Amino acid sequence: MYSAAPDRDGNIWEKRVKVWLRIRYPNGEFEEVPAAHAGDFGVEGFSRDGRAYQCYASREPLRAGDLYENQRTKMHDDIAKFIKNKAELERLFGPVKIESWWFITPEHKSAKLIQYAQTKADEVRKAKLPYVSPNFFIHVATEDDFATEHQNAVHRGLDKLRIDGSSVDDEQVN
């Protein structure tokens, strides 16, 4: 994956991810859940194959431990909404059973986040929500999980190619 520094603007990160999801799920198979009116109930959107998606990007570069703490807090808050908003989410998902909740972030630096996700997934399963599969799990995803979609978005002019590299001064170019 050709990626530069991680996105630091959560709104830009969310927009990029939603472009990738629309490419992955054409023909209305991805349903965006806007937050502007009454909130998003802990999901940015969901797919008809039973995946719910939530995005998070840190505002500044963080060490692994601090990033983990911020991501854990975000996951905690959004999973709490995912459980608490039972009536709203049951109406939102309709016949779709959510099998996985994807936490999509530009940076993933800690195995402890996966452990925490296991704890939160167990909490969701124990809640026995009517819109959740008994095999529910949480997946921590990054841009690498969307490599094909990102490449397609760049090709279609919907995203930018981001390449790591050092800067070169004019003398080196000459």
pLDDT in tens, 1-30: 434 456 778 999 999 999 999 999 999 999
pLDDT in tens, 117-147: 999 999 999 999 999 999 999 999 999 999 9
Rounded to an integer, the average pLDDT of 100-109 is 97
Beta pairing, strands 51-55 & 98-104:
parallel
SS3 22: helix
- The pLDDT value recorded for residue 13 is 94
Question: What is the pLDDT, as a whole number, of residue 5?
Answer: 57
DSSP letters for 64-94? HHHHHHHHHHHHHHHHHHHHHTHHHHHHHHT
